[in-house]
């Protein structure tokens, strides 16, 4: 198979010889926005992230296989992929651990009033805060129970939280106290202390958390979005934050967030620049995932 590999796979150069030894022809390009180093017709397999944002997938007439370095599929025209019966894989599980750790850490920052304590430290001020909260006993609702959601569930269970999963395809899973379908999301939200969004962005999930659903949350509930920005109606969230306990937003509808957004200045909001997926183990996990697929599928022909 003729395989085009981009620099989105950080360690690709370390594996080119091994891939060639399996019978593949390989061409490497560092930057996905650059001109292709081969003809579009040459590529039968592609390992990339956002290549199709700069190079329309329709030009790759002989494409049979796509391996993404991202967990999301939103940079790929999936209807076309399905129509042409192109095999596609994402980076399933690669980024789940740092994202789940981020979710726990962010909630703890809000619950333990880290900003207040840090500001006092900078001012050399010795002042107690009597409003610190505990994770123990809280009800955590995780919407989207794939790899990221499951890793979140493991960690919040360890803090003696009650973890409820909401998913399009509910299942029995020991890491969730229960898992239910999306049809009952509204009921679950009324009981939720911590809402974690880890679901993919689709036409159906765009603004799935809107003004109405935000109104169902308890006062002092915390929302964490580590999915895609557009699963939350930003304007509705800004209004709802007057009564909610806070929000942790690693993703936003507009990235970067406009400097004039009121979200920047809300004390109970944590904003991070689409950063929660970062962890030193990602490279190793991605290498293992990609090479395992090569080994399992032989020559991918």
Q: Say what the pLDDT of residue 38 is.
A: 98
**Catalytically annotated residue among 58, 134, 220, 255:** 255
Mean pLDDT, consecutive 10-residue stretches, the chain (301 aa), reads: 97 95 94 98 98 98 97 93 97 97 98 97 98 98 98 98 98 98 97 97 95 97 97 98 97 97 96 98 97 74 46
Q: Say what the pLDDT of residue 299 is.
A: 47
Known active-site residue 175: no
**Catalytically annotated residue among 228, 253, 280, 297:** 228
Q: Say what the pLDDT of residue 298 is.
A: 65
Known active-site residue 44: no
pTM: 0.92
With tokens 């010889």, the residue in question is 17
Here the tokens at position 220 are 């002092």
Known active-site residue 213: no
**Catalytically annotated residue among 207, 268, 274, 297:** 274
């Amino acid at each position: 198979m003729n395989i085009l590999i981009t620099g989105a796979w950080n360690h690709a150069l370390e594996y080119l010889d091994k891939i060639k030894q399996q019978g593949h022809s390989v061409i490497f390009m560092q930057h996905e926005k650059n001109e292709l180093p081969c003809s579009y017709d040459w590529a039968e397999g592609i390992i990339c992230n956002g290549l199709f944002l700069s190079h329309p997938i329709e030009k790759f007439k002989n494409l049979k296989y796509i391996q993404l370095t991202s967990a999301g599929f939103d940079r790929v025209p999936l209807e076309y992929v399905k129509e042409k019966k192109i095999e596609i894989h994402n980076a399933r599980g690669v980024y789940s651990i740092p994202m789940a750790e981020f979710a726990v850490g962010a909630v703890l920052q809000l619950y333990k009033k880290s900003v207040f304590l840090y500001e006092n430290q900078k001012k050399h001020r010795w002042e107690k805060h009597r409003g610190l909260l505990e994770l123990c006993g809280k009800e955590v609702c995780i919407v989207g129970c794939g790899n990221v959601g499951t890793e979140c569930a493991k960690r919040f269970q360890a803090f003696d939280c009650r973890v409820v999963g909401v998913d399009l395809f509910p299942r029995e899973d020991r890491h969730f106290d229960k898992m239910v379908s999306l049809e009952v999301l509204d009921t679950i939200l009324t009981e939720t202390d911590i809402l974690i969004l880890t679901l993919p962005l689709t036409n159906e999930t765009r603004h799935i958390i809107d003004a109405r659903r935000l109104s169902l949350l308890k006062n002092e509930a915390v929302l964490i979005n580590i999915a895609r920005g557009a699963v939350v109606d930003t304007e509705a969230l800004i209004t709802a934050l007057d009564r909610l306990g806070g929000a942790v937003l690693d993703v936003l509808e507009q990235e970067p967030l406009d400097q004039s957004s009121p979200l920047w200045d809300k004390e109970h909001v944590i904003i991070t620049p689409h950063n929660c997926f970062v962890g030193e183990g990602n490279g190793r996990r991605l290498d293992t995932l990609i090479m395992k697929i090569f080994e399992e599928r032989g020559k991918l022909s």
